[in-house]
Copies of this chain bind each other. A is one copy, B any other.
Amino acid sequence: MDDNTFLKFNITIDYFKNLGETIFKKKGEIFITPDDILNGIYVLLKGRIKYLLYSLDGREKIIFIGEPVCIIGDVPTYDRRPAGTFVTALMDLELVFIEYHTVIEAIDNNPDFSKYFITSICNKTRGLMAEMGEQCFQDAESKVLKIIIQFAKHYGDFEKEMIKINFPLSQQFIGNLASLNRVTTARVLKSLREEDIIDIENGKYILKRVSLLD
Binding site for B on A (CB under 8 A): 53, 55-59, 61, 63, 75, 78-79, 81, 84-85, 107-108, 111, 114, 117-119, 121-126, 128-129, 131-133, 135-137, 139-140, 147, 150, 153-154, 170, 172-173, 176-177, 180-181, 183-184
Q: How far is the CA of A84 from the CA of B79 in the complex (A)?
A: 24
Tell me whether B55 and A136 are in contact (CB under 8 A): yes
Query: How many copies are assembled?
Result: 2
Q: How far is the CB of A191 from chain B (nearest CB, A)?
A: 12
Nearest 4 A/B pairs, CB to CB: A55-B137, A128-B128, A57-B184, A61-B136
Residue of B at shortest CB range from A147? B177
Given A53-B136, A114-B108, are A122 and B121 neighbors across the interface (CB < 8 Å)? yes
- On chain B, the residues within 8 Å of A107 by CB distance are 114, 118
A136 and B137 in contact, given A108-B111, A129-B85, A150-B173 (Cβ under 8 angstroms): no
Minimum CB–CB distance from A108 to chain B (whole Å) comes to 5
Closest CB-CB distance, A140 to chain B, in whole Å?
6
Please, how many angstroms separate the alpha-carbon atoms of A125 and B78 in the complex? 12
When the two chains form their complex, are residues A181 and B58 in contact, meaning their CB atoms are under 8 A apart? yes
Which of A53, A118, A153, A172 gathers the greatest number of chain B CB atoms within 10 Å? A118
Residues of B within 8 A of A129 (CB): 53, 63, 84-85, 128
